[in-house]
Structure 1
Amino acid sequence: MSAIYKVTKAEFIKSGTRPSHFPPPLQPEIAFGGASNVGKSSLINSLVGRNKLVKTSKTPGHTQTINFFNINDELVFVDLPGYGFAKVPLEVKAAWGPMMERYLGGRPTLRAIVCVMDLRRGVRDDDMMLIESAPLFGIQPILVFTKADKFGKNAGQQRLREIARELGCPPGELVLYSSTNGQGGEQLWDRIRQVTGV
């Protein structure tokens, strides 16, 4: 099953902040989470081969709702609000945790969460909280490190091995990704297809 999944349809479904806003849970869902400005939206766009499916912004905290996208009428990608240093109002930050818990704990079709991190910065405390919370909700975490193009090939692999040692896991469990050149796309699609069966 080692081939990039062919995306022929990718479209926005709807946004929401609470379960009553969410679309019915009919297809397997893959959520994407990470710190503000880590390149999450760019990763989703590159993964589905669309430049503007998910709106990108250089302003941290741009995504403040949970956004659902239909992929080929058989998968749903879910873009979660970024966490961390975003300059968003305190009441928005305060609502983030409960909103996320309601989503992560209440979607029977949610199969995995892609935890998106910057290869240069490694795993931060907020990232670790997301990674460790996934199994509590019965969700498979998929660890992806973006900005791979900022490193030479050997340097990128060396950095990944360092992070794997810190996490106590094999380097092969981590995905090295570049939204600029598509590096890691096949590996990430393999992981998504394994957990969704598409």
Structure 2
Amino acid sequence: MKIKKVELESVAAKPNQYPEEGLVEIALAGRSNVGKSSLINTLINRNNFARTSSQPGKTQTINFYNINGEFRIVDLPGYGYAKVSMADRQRWANMIETYLTSRKSLKEVVLLLDIRHEPGEHDKMMYDWIKSFGYSGYIIATKADKISKGQWQKHAGIIKKKLEVSNTDLIIPFSAAKKLNVDKVWEKLGSILELVE
């Protein structure tokens, strides 16, 4: 996809701060520090547009990125970071749930996982939740440059088994650092947008 214009349209903590309904939205869910901001920056070919942080748990809002005035990528707060207080974690969980259950423009939720690690309890809960709402169950397996390409299939198999993913084709190994499989991610996002049109 040719990126002509990108705008951080809204930084929201509650529904009255969301942008107007209308444009198709694809949300990114995942643990803190899994690489959601890095994915967004790589997709739009900008270095620091979506702010990355070395401190997990920094994204405490839902960030709406308007791409070409055609659709939005929505960055959800990261979950599962132990050093954040229970009250904060509950607040973020409520924030995510409110968005996911009330937003009419939301057409797909994509889960990001670190390809190197077996999915944890929070990942399983999130994936089950995504599937229970009828979404496809796409997974972007980040940090794929940290293991050899020959290991991708093995690690994708671990993710598939742990989360009970119906088809390995739903799992896309990806690396922001080496720009691996950027085209495959865009292909998947494009297919989601085409289904909606």
Match in the other structure for 2:70: 74
Residue 174 of structure 1 corresponds to which residue in structure 2?
171
Question: Which sections of structure 1, spanning at least 5 residues, go unmatched?
Answer: none
Q: Structure 1 residues 70 and 102 mapped into 2: Cα distance closer, same or farther (>3 Å)?
A: same
CA-to-partner distance for each residue in 1:59-96, whole Å, 9 max, x for gaps?
01010010111101001011110011252333221212
**Alignment partner of 1:92 out of 84, 88, 91:** 88
Equivalent residues, number: 194
2:137 is equivalent to residue 135 of structure 1: no
3-state SS of the aligned residue for 2:43?
Answer: helix
**Is it true that 1:149 corresponds to 2:145 in the alignment?**
yes
Q: Distance in 2 between matches of 1:168 and 1:140?
A: 10
Pairwise CA RMSD of aligned residues? Answer: 1.6
CA displacement, residues 141-173 of structure 1 (integer Å, 9 cap, x when unaligned): 321110100111112232223332443533222
Whether 2:183 is the aligned partner of 1:186: answer yes
CA positional deviation for 1:116: 0.5
Give matches, 1:1-198, under 5 Å. Answer: 5-166=1-162, 167-197=164-194
Farther off after superposition, 116-125 or 81-90: 81-90
SS at 2:98's partner residue? helix
**Amino acid of the structure 1 residue aligned with 2:68:** N
Relative to the length of structure 1, the TM-score reads 0.91
1:159 counterpart letter in structure 2: H
Moved over 3 A (4+): 135-140
Report the 3-state secondary structure (helix = DSSP H, G, I; strand = E; otherwise coil) of the residue aligned with 2:89.
helix
